[in-house]
């Protein structure tokens, strides 16, 4: 987004890097986006090498010389493309690697898990307060729906993350128990010989049966598991 933002600003008027940096800082953009004001100079350099911007003139400011950049015709086209590309990107990744962490933590003590989770919960709760305060400040009756949604989306997301970590602590005994069962399962199965489950082809009911079967096995891991699983999957994925 930093490229699009620089091109956007230079398309309005020629500017030096510091001006763009201050735009980002004064508007607090570095507070809620991944854009860091320090990354501007690198991006300006790169955009100039690519021919999207050029040095219009150099200005002396005390001992420093400032380059004033302007956008080129190619840059104007690049701005349009960059904006279209950004419009087609997700606002934030909905999926997360962290969804699997709780199935792997049985090697940590309950105290260690609790300490790490509480530490993160504190950060999440502080963030939520910051965003709620921001909403109070920024949103008026005249605000666009989009602006309201910016805040609601982040606050709801943080809320879910808080609930998730609270649920982890609340059901910690069950989580660890389930981790131990999974460990048993993994030690008994050679995954390299298991067949694939095609998640798109099979219907929900059939797949729900597989899941129940798996859960049953997890409760009492026995020998010959691998063979049983393979047979069961084969049976269920047959049309």
Residues between 190 and 209 that touch a copy of itself (CB under 8 A): 190-192, 194, 196-197, 199, 204, 207-208
Task: Label residues 5-15 b or e (16+ Cβ within 10 Å = b).
Answer: bbbebbeeebb
Options 127, 232, 236, 237; binder of a copy of itself; rule CB under 8 A: 127
- Residue 96, token pair as written in the block: 């997360």
Instruction: Report which secondary-structure segment, H or E, holds 55.
Output: strand 53-61
Whole-number CA gyration radius for the chain:
27
Exposed, middle or buried by CB within 10 Å (0-12, 13-18, 19+), for 53?
A: buried
Binding flag, residue 153, a copy of itself (CB under 8 A)? yes
Binding flag, residue 237, a copy of itself (CB under 8 A)? no
Whether the Cβ atoms of residue 106 and residue 176 lie closer than 8 Å to each other: yes
Residue 189 phi, psi (nearest 5)? -115, 135
Give DSSP secondary structure letters for 82-151.
HHHHHHTS-SS----GGGGGGGSGGGS-HHHHHHHHHHHHHHHHHHHHHHHHHHHHH--TTS-HHHHHHH
Select the span of 36-44, 48-56, 67-75, 171-179 touching a copy of itself (CB under 8 A).
171-179
Count the site residues for a copy of itself by CB under 8 A. 103
Options 42, 74, 84, 227; binder of a copy of itself; rule CB under 8 A: 84
Return the DSSP state at 171. T
Longest dimension (CA), the chain: 80
Binding flag, residue 225, a copy of itself (CB under 8 A)? no
Select the span of 43-51, 52-60, 67-75, 89-97 touching a copy of itself (CB under 8 A).
89-97
Binding flag, residue 35, a copy of itself (CB under 8 A)? yes
Q: Least distance in Å: CB of 100 to a copy of itself?
A: 7
Select the span of 36-44, 46-54, 120-128, 220-228 touching a copy of itself (CB under 8 A).
120-128
Options 57, 98, 110, 125; binder of a copy of itself; rule CB under 8 A: 98
| Contact characters 42-71, a copy of itself, x per CB under 8 A | ------------------------------
Binding flag, residue 178, a copy of itself (CB under 8 A)? yes
């Amino acid at each position: 987004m930093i490229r699009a933002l620089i091109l956007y600003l230079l398309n309005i008027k020629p500017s030096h890097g510091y001006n763009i940096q201050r735009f980002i800082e004064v508007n607090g953009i570095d507070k809620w986006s991944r854009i860091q004001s320090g990354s501007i100079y690198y991006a300006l350099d790169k955009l100039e090498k690519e021919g999207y911007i050029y040095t219009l003139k150099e200005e002396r400011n005390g001992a420093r010389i400032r380059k004033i950049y302007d956008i080129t015709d190619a840059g104007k086209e690049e701005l349009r493309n960059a904006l279209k590309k950004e419009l087609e990107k997700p606002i934030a990744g909905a999926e997360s690697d962290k969804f699997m962490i709780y199935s792997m933590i049985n090697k940590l003590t309950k105290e260690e898990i609790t300490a790490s989770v509480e530490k993160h919960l504190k950060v999440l709760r502080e963030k939520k307060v910051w965003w709620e305060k921001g909403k109070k400040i920024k949103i008026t009756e005249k605000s666009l729906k989009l602006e309201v949604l910016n805040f609601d989306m982040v606050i709801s997301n943080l809320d879910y993350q808080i609930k998730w970590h609270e649920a982890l602590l609340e059901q910690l005994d069950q989580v660890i128990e389930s981790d131990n069962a999974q460990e048993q399962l993994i030690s008994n199965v050679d995954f390299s010989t298991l067949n694939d489950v095609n998640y798109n082809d099979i219907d929900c009911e059939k797949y729900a049966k597989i899941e129940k079967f798996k859960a049953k096995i997890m409760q009492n891991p026995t020998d010959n598991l691998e063979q049983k699983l393979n047979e069961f999957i084969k049976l269920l994925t047959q049309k």
